[in-house]
Amino acid sequence: MVRNNRQPLPFDDPPAPRRGAERLLSVQELADYLGVPATTLYQWRYRREGPRGFRVGRHIRYQWTDVTEWIEHQIENAG
């Protein structure tokens, strides 16, 4: 971000994600994607049935790669 024709300060922009880093999904984002209520994700987590998630402070987050692996596993075991 440039202010008053000055050079940008080093802290004006957020740091770029690390190579291979992926955006984390919130419970609500994953629930919307899967078409299930957020409470279902919390139940799956409690019973260790859903995709692997982890805590970031008070919040649960999911990595997309874990979600896709879980979905593939569900598809393989469905038939």
In sequence order, which ranges of the chain are alpha helices (DSSP H)?
Answer: 27-34, 38-47, 64-78
pLDDT value, residue 79: 73
Consecutive H or E run containing 24: strand 24-26
Parse the chain into domains and list their residue ranges.
24-78
Query: pTM value?
Result: 0.71
37-72 exposure pattern, b = at least 16 Cβ within 10 A, e = fewer: eeeebeebbeeeebbebeeeeeebbbbeebbeebee
The low-confidence residues of the chain, meaning pLDDT below 70, are: 1-20
